[in-house]
Copies of this chain bind each other. A is one copy, B any other.
Amino acid sequence: MSSTNGMIDPDDAVILLIDHQSGLFNTVRDVPVNDLRHYVTAISKVASLLNIPVITTASVPDGPNGPLIPEVHKYAPHAVYVPRTGQINTWDNPLFVDEVKKTGRKTLIIAGTLTSVCMAFPAVSAVKEGYNVYCVVDASGNWSKMATDITIARVAQAGAVPTDTFAIVAELMRTWNRSEGSQFAEILSEHVCHEYKCLIESFGKAQAVVKDGPETNLENYR
């Protein structure tokens, strides 16, 4: 068995963020749009933290699909943007595939809006070319919930691994016992699982009460 215990090797990974555009986001009906923005942000920040190559693209951004959301390149400034010339499946764009090949890496982490199109099509294509493909379903965004249920079955059938944002961040992070630990905690609590932020705040407060004394002293009022 490989040294990764069957998990992703970050050094072999490329992240493909496809068509996360403002117009398309307002057609998404399976993930709340603010959650979707945060999930894409989380993945972008993790890419920066771990120096994983990111390739982005947009589908006709001069039209109603709208611009890429700024978070992608803001939080993954090293991302390479590849313009498309109309192709719906970004794998049909030779410039995009070349950019993937240039990395020399064989594990693709794909998110794309719409899930059943922009995520699923290149996933199917890449699996057929021998890549290990992970589909981050909830960082993609689809036009209907039923379409997402269908797509999970489709990509799994094709041999791509369906995953979610928390899982992909954790799989890349691998251990809390690393110098970037607190940065991962911030990414997860600010962008993925907001209940975690409450946990951190409550934890800090509970300890402060021991260290610094209570904020309110009920005894005084009895």
Cβ of A61 within 8 Å of any chain B Cβ, yes or no, is yes
Chain B residues near A150 (CB-CB < 8 A): 137-138, 152, 162-164, 167
* Known contacts A85-B177, A89-B174, A116-B163; A64 and B196 CB within 8 A of each other: yes
A10-18, A32-40, A45-53, A100-108: which lies at the interface? A32-40
Check if B86 sits within 8 Å of A175, measured CB to CB: yes
Residue among B1, B177, B203, B207 making CB contact with A87, cutoff 8 Å: B177
Residue of B with least CB distance to A199 = B64
Chain A, interface SS category: helix
The count of residues in chain A whose C-beta lies closer than 8 Å to any C-beta of chain B is: 107
* Known contacts A146-B138, A203-B23; A198 and B33 CB within 8 A of each other: yes
Rounded to whole angstroms, the CA-CA distance of A215 and B83 in the bound complex is 9
Q: Which of A26, A84, A147, A193 has the most chain B CB atoms closer than 10 A to its own CB?
A: A26
Check if A67 sits within 8 Å of B193, measured CB to CB: no
Chain B residues near A193 (CB-CB < 8 A): 27, 143
Cβ of A62 within 8 Å of any chain B Cβ, yes or no, is yes
Chain B residues near A194 (CB-CB < 8 A): 32-34, 37
Pick the 5 closest A-B CB pairs, nearest first.
A86-B177, A85-B221, A206-B206, A34-B194, A66-B202
